[in-house]
Amino acid sequence: MDKTFGKAKSTGDGGEHWMSVSDLMAGLMMVFLFISVALMRDAVVERDKIKEVAETYQETQQAIYEALYAEFKEDLDRWGAELNRDDLSLNFTSPDVLFAQGSSHLTPKFKSILDNFIPRYLEVLDKYKPSIQEIRIEGHTSSRWNHDTGVNEAYFRNMALSQSRTRAVLNYMVELNPVRVEHAGWVKANVAAVGYSSSKLVLRDDGTEDERRSRRVSFRVITNAEEQIMKILGSK
């Protein structure tokens, strides 16, 4: 006959004794301990994988920055351009060189710069393609449209303008002969044109808008570190 806390067990002399509650609890605790150790081990393995991806990401970011800087350091000033280490963006910040006021037509000077810049840019990035998720051509404007335009209207007018400008740059890019010959498929699959309007203004030290430097076109490298981390998390 079974009791509430246990089951009868035979002893060597034919008698019986009852498993105590403490024995049951001790057994369950051992089971839970083994489960906890297994879960902790999995967590440590995942943490180490994510740490490895993060370290590789930092190393790749640094390597791409150094390669771009070595290639373009002599050109940045004369192009009116800046290279940002933190987000791997190369920013063309002389608006008069890029487009006419309110226009999405590339100036002859900007076309000349792109003729020189784009093939060299893609050549530098060629060895890093496995680590690159996307090259993003970003269009940015100041918050101004004209003196009679409200804030919201100015934002959406500038949105349309920034989108038109980045599409014009991308279109010019894919039509360049070195791109069509060597990089056409990769560019179409991995280069995007995005207009941000005035959502990413450049501010002076005192917090006021630097309208001139806000009007810019950026080529930004986005690595796939986040995608690798999500794959690790998704494989759980």
**Domain-embedded: residue 196:** yes
Question: Residue 42: what pLDDT?
Answer: 66
Q: pLDDT by residue (tens digit) across 145-172?
A: 877 788 999 999 999 999 999 999 999 9
The predicted model scores a pTM of 0.74
> What pLDDT is attached to residue 149?
81
pLDDT of residue 4: 47
Percentage of the chain exceeding pLDDT 90? 60
Name the more confident of 49 and 131: 131
Listed residue (98, 107, 93, 78) closest to 211, CA to CA: 93
- Residue 124 covered by a domain: yes
Q: Is residue 131 part of a domain?
A: yes
Least confident interval from 43-47, 227-231, 232-236:
232-236
Domain that holds residue 175: 47-232
> What are the pLDDT digits (tens) for 5-27?
445 555 555 444 455 767 767 77
Q: Region 78-97: what's the mean pLDDT? A: 94
Total tally of structural domains belonging to the chain = 1
122 domain residue, yes or no: yes
The CATH number of the domain where 58 resides is what? 3.30.1330.60
